Structure 1
Amino acid sequence: MDRYRYDYQSRQWRQRSGRRRVWLRRWRYVLLRLVFVTIAAIAALIQSVSSDHTGWIPDISVSNWLRAQPDPISGVASVIDGDTVEVHGQRIRFNGIDAPESRQYCSDGKGFDYPCGRRSAEALATFLAASKPLDCTFVTWDRYGRFVGDCRRADGTGVAAWMVEHGQALDWPRYSHGAYAEQQAKAQTAKIGMWVGAFQAPWDWRAAHADGSAPMSQPQGSVSRKLVAQGGYSCEPRRTCSQISSCEEANWYLQNCSWGGKLDRDKDGIPCESLC
């Protein structure tokens, strides 16, 4: 009789313990799902608030946290635009800067519109060709799945800093925290690249043309006039170094004219070295 009572009580205890374990597992599962959904909702909210800017926005989704951090990338780069290249099939967005879009137009010192987006890409291609390969270290993924990184030429020159210092891109404080403010001040003072005339910040241009209605071949109508540089230069007619009177003028042609690269025969970024 005592043996039977003992077996019966032991069986009841095991049943209660089993039910308790099942209950704990179920609540653990519910709590984990609740945490996951909450994190995903917060990430979606932050991303939606940031969606007014369509440049590189860090990917704050849960899936991004689970992605392995890639190794540095090294290779010969194909230029996509002034702030994006492709190396070994991987798109790489330069960290902390923003270059004019491929379809974007700016105004030169005389108020004439020119394709500053294409000019920026051409300047980048020339700069990268002078010292290969390109070496990029990972910073983050953006919302489009692009590798955002800090990149340097084989000679150690930082690409982002060079693009800003030569007026072909802007420091983007939202992501750089002012890392390239000094280079931008130099470009603005020297009035080179975009700073020779008037332009709209790339992030503002994208917001204004988010519907894709901006024509490929026509100047944009909305251009900020608060950054007007001194005039006096024009890409027509073409000039040789013997026809140029100053280093400033030579740099303007190099950065703003399609034929300007001919002034830099050794491709070191310095035009008309007898002047500069």
Structure 2
Amino acid sequence: MILRPFLFPLIAVTTLLAHSATPAAAATITGPARISDGDTISVKGTRIRLNGIDAPETDQVCIDKAGKTYACGVAARDALIELVQKRPVTCTGDEIDRYGRRIMICFVDRMDINAAMVASGWALAFRRYSDIYVSQEQTARAGQEGLWSGAFIAPWDWRHRGSQTEILGALSVPIDAQQRLLPQPLASVSPTTGCHIKGNISRDGARIYHVPGQQNYDKTRITESKGERWFCTEDEARTAGWRRARN
């Protein structure tokens, strides 16, 4: 996968009010990035939501160009990891969202990584809050990059999991697309809405977590009385001592 760089002057960019954000003192933060998902990072202990873009949730599933279901949220996170490549990140912004995260545009050297994520097709322009990356999305869509090579649901729609949700992408929509892209049964099993990562304990005591789209996800059952549990993010699972399942 090739991520095309987008170069912009390293200055703060004014956008529309973001993510129910409130004004804060303008800030510039530089340092190594800890990547949580395709649009969320931490730099020096500051949680940052990448401004103007929305990437698939970590537990979101999509359909690839071959018609197979895959964990596109994980793929988006991995795309951001590949893009940054452990280089220092510089982020600028003056808004804080309702979750306490800084809303920022981030750069590696002079490359706008928000723009690059949209251009690579692993994030969408978050038009509800900003139109700054619409042109990058149009290019990715035309080139069938990333998510656009298959079929998927926009992250903001997927979070609500409505049955009338529009399915996007280049792939002709399969008859069972709604069932495959909106795994409704998960909500009735998981005790916490939006927390669908399964923390399983194997027979030999290994703590392993499974994300939607993995081979053994559906047949894995969680028994909380045995110490097994649900996680909302992979970062949360790893911090608690679980490792990702190999399949």
Q: Quick check: 1:59 aligned with 2:21?
A: yes
Task: Output one character per residue of 1:42-67: Cα deviation in whole Å (capped at 9) or x when no partner.
Answer: xxxxxxxxxxxxxx72234xxxx5xx
Q: Superposed, which structure 2 residues align to 1:1-276 within 5 Å?
A: 57-60=19-22, 69-129=25-85, 132-154=87-109, 156-176=110-130, 178-208=131-161, 224-229=166-171
- How much does 1:222 deviate? 8.2
> Whose strand fraction is larger, Structure 1's or Structure 2's?
2
What's the Cα RMSD here?
2.3
**Equivalents in 2 of 1:104, 1:151: separation in Å?**
24
Sort the Cα spacing of 1:112 and 1:57 in 2 relative to 1 into closer, same or farther, 3 A.
same
**Equivalents in 2 of 1:222, 1:127: separation in Å?**
34
Structure with the greater alpha carbon radius of gyration: 1
**Equivalents in 1 of 2:70, 2:106: separation in Å?**
28
TM-score normalised by the chain length of structure 2: 0.58
Q: Among all aligned residue pairs of Structure 1 and Structure 2, give the percentage whose two residues are the same amino acid.
A: 39
- How much does 1:192 deviate? 1.3
* Local SS of the residue matching 1:138: strand
Task: Output one character per residue of 1:67-108: Cα deviation in whole Å (capped at 9) or x when no partner.
Answer: x51531000101000000011111100001000000000001
TM-score normalised by the chain length of structure 1: 0.53
Which residue is equivalent to 1:233? none
Task: Output one character per residue of 1:231-254: Cα deviation in whole Å (capped at 9) or x when no partner.
Answer: xxxxxxxxxxxxxxxxxxxxxxxx
Contact 2:47 2:102 (C-alpha < 8 Å) held by counterparts: yes
Q: Which amino acid aligns with 1:58?
A: S
Q: Which amino acid aligns with 1:108?
A: D
